[in-house]
Chain A
């Protein structure tokens, strides 16, 4: 049992324990009494508290029967013994009046709107029981031309409620700073870049803005927020190894849109252009849709049962005739961990051979081998969750914002917030631009740079002596090799500034580390 004292706060008179994740009254209330109790328009659980819409206001007293104050729950911390009141006449009136103000600048043409019945504004207004406003001929931002210039995104600012969620998603999740609010006060509005058309802007099409937009002010060509579907299927993206959780909308047995569940650990509602919008290949005529069996020198379509029967038969024949080592399996880094596990199990246990490999043989085998030699296994030593706990990142010859965009964005977010970054790359990648130490080495000289770094660390005695003594073998030989290195020569070979490498090495050795091993 935890020795820490449990802290209690009260929601509408009932006591609840304050948990570690309850960073605001809103999060606290939602976790115990559900999403609907306190309405909100500008909040998104994956974005920092913003405090714009004020619809989430609650009454708070610091003690029982103490004087109450109305506060926005999204950015007010929950405190011990606080009494939180989620609804009363004053709050209902406040919420209604605010939403009424929103409706004064909203077209109110729900029936013809793309997101009719899938709109957060509509839901909040309906729940509060308001469908119209009382203001006399209010000026409206109406008739802003729809921006259809983008290949994937759609912008319809007539329906925008200025909640800023799109701007914040572009900044806080993707880290691209494409969207902004411009102007001031009543005249403020969303725009891209320097007032560019969406399609001409620097947008990377991650879709985070459309995904968070509470109305159809930003949506996409697939109408992913409102597509008429038969069913939604939870799946894992197969484009790269990040493993984003996706929700495929299926209509007439075809994928019509992709959504991203907000609560998933790997991608938390985010994904990239590939995962979100590049799905039309599913139904492309060139794509294999059934297993093919080569008969009489020609591939013929077959059912899965036929295919499995064929595989079983052939597998048994080969193993019987030539032994298990005559058989080999090859899998893909883009399959899920579970799929790869099952496959290797079949090859190792059922077939009886260790001849199992994957498509990363060329790019990953040096790192995997090196790690195996050093640590005993060639697997990553960190989980993606560790990105949030690292003080420093080192990226060697990898371009994660391109190759693994969701993980790349996570690293970029941390670096923008002040975590240190070392990049070893001849190319000025998106991350390299932000790096504290961008070591622009000649291609093929990674080892030279790493030896230089080791040299500087050992010389500065920054290695953990106790750890080395207790848990390593052959370290003295290693030191001898490293000390022999001529760093001036190595710097010349790699074409880099020795001082920069030294500083990077010291930063590396004095920080907790996220080790990105994509050489």
Chain B
């Protein structure tokens, strides 16, 4: 955590942020000498080099490739990617095809990235057209609200006219009233940690600072989840409205959406909305003739899952290495450039908008106090009705999977719910669970984003653990010792088991999992043991021939 780099980077500020400068320069056809950028910021060239080398997309090995096959959990379980990779290699050359982690097409798989666009499902059949640069018609995800009241999928904020009308209304509302609405609604952060949103805004509004920031965490990297993608692409005004109101409440005049580079359509949609709102004077200086100014920009992620962790995300924008920082201080008092900052997930901001429009009592009436309102749930391609759904908290998982999801296309044995760090729930446990954060945690799982990746009956669970360890080894920021070393050693254990060179040492594995769970600095390497422990508990028998108990 370098306060110096944060402050020096803050001298230039958000609009022309150092991260943007570094990534644009590296990706440019004619990059300038990074010494010049370093000098402009009074930083060492090492600072820029350290940051640049952190991101997958900025590495030469990545930039040499042309197409990238999704290696997220859902595409892996669907078994579509080997053939896809072969096809692309035939067309582009063996060394021109790389990988990207989850492109958010979990409902149709066969996902790949080519020349700044994502393709999936049957798109590969049109590969020649794609390589020719022709626009092809692509399938969209299916979305539907099953909620008592829809807060996230309704049509109340789809046009800029509606945006203007609502903004006009809320510019006149007392800030304390807005915070009270959020508190009354019982909305908790949808990004994973579950902190009460109203409280976060309240803390930040009271924090002292000559400048404050609003950050939308749109770095949805959890495989299985495309709910943020839904909101960014289909409900962008709801997300932006949430940010503007947050800015109004906390006293901020500048915000940024940090959107992962794996989501080009989301970036396009948000960019379009921002430009339109700016043109209409609904973003920018003195909005609607009031004293309130709020400007908004976008930061494009460069391939690092850890940037979904709020302190790493802040570090990333500042041009530091996207390593997790210690807390305290929390971002509400010392966030971006050491200024008070609210970092909210996409769904949280959209939900805040929905709550303000529909009233908090309707939100709090659904579910219970700690798991209130509605939640987006993503079902993958193993369901008969894959898609993203708005569902009341407290709804039984059985209903979600069997009625809304329509049951399974082929036999499945377990589900990873809540992304790679979420629990692995065996099929027979689903009937005992409801859509409820605390209930999932109490049973040793984690609801998280409420994304669902189905694991088919014939899929090796040792292979799944290998995938999880490989993911955390690849995506760990490398700062904390148990995370950096533990995830890599775990991956090696399963590498060796896969190759048959050594059996899995169960005692050591268990110690390693506890060490990571108790010792790690953040939830990436600290929560990756959750699904692994679940698998060992429920599917240990499947791997018993690959294991030795003592070591």
Contacts and interface: CB of A to CB of B under 8 A. Distances in A.
Interface of A: 41-42, 48-55, 57, 70, 72, 74-75, 77, 90, 93-94, 97-98, 101-102, 104-105, 134-139, 161-162, 164, 168, 171-172, 175-188, 191-195, 202, 413, 416-418, 433-434
B521 A93 contact: no
B396 interface: no
Contacts of B521: 51-52, 54, 72
B173 interface: no
B478 A181 contact: yes
Contacts of B42: 416, 433-434
Interface stretch (B4-12, B220-228, B273-281, B436-444): B4-12
B406 interface: no
Contacts of A102: 481, 485
Given A101-B485, A101-B515, A202 B45 contact: yes
B167 to A, nearest CB: 34
Given A54-B481, A93-B511, A181-B321, A136 B505 contact: yes
Contact of A175 (B1, B4, B49, B484): B4
B519 interface: yes
Q: What is the interface of chain A mostly: helix, strand, loop, or mixed?
A: loop
Given A70-B518, A97-B511, A135-B508, A177 B44 contact: yes
Contacts of B478: 162, 181, 183-188
Given A186-B478, A416-B7, A162 B484 contact: yes
Interface in B487-519: 487-489, 492-493, 496, 502, 505, 508, 511-512, 514-515, 518-519
Given A94-B515, A134-B508, A177 B43 contact: yes
B489 A183 contact: no
Interface stretch (B287-295, B468-476, B536-544): B468-476
Contacts of B505: 134, 136
A188 B220 CA distance: 24
Given A54-B520, A185-B476, A433-B42, 5 more contacts: A136-B505, A161-B481, A180-B49, A184-B477, A194-B48
Which residue, B4, B55, B505, B512, has most C-beta atoms of chain A within 10 A? B4
Nearest to B508: A134
A182 B4 CA distance: 18
B36 to A, nearest CB: 12
Interface of B: 1-5, 7-8, 34-35, 42-50, 53-55, 304, 321, 323, 326-328, 338, 473-482, 484-489, 492-493, 496, 502, 505, 508, 511-512, 514-515, 518-521, 551
Contact of B4 (A74, A105, A136, A417): A417
A184 B54 contact: yes
A28 to B, nearest CB: 15
A338 to B, nearest CB: 35
Contact of B484 (A41, A90, A186): A186
A192 B474 CA distance: 23
A350 B482 CA distance: 67
Q: 5 shortest A-B CB distances, which residue pairs? A: A177-B44, A180-B50, A75-B326, A180-B46, A188-B478
29 contacts: A48-B3, A52-B479, A54-B520, A72-B326, A72-B521, A93-B511, A94-B515, A94-B519, A98-B482, A98-B515, A98-B519, A101-B482, A136-B493, A136-B505, A164-B479, A172-B2, A172-B4, A177-B47, A180-B46, A180-B50, A182-B49, A182-B53, A182-B54, A183-B53, A183-B478, A184-B476, A185-B484, A186-B478, A416-B4
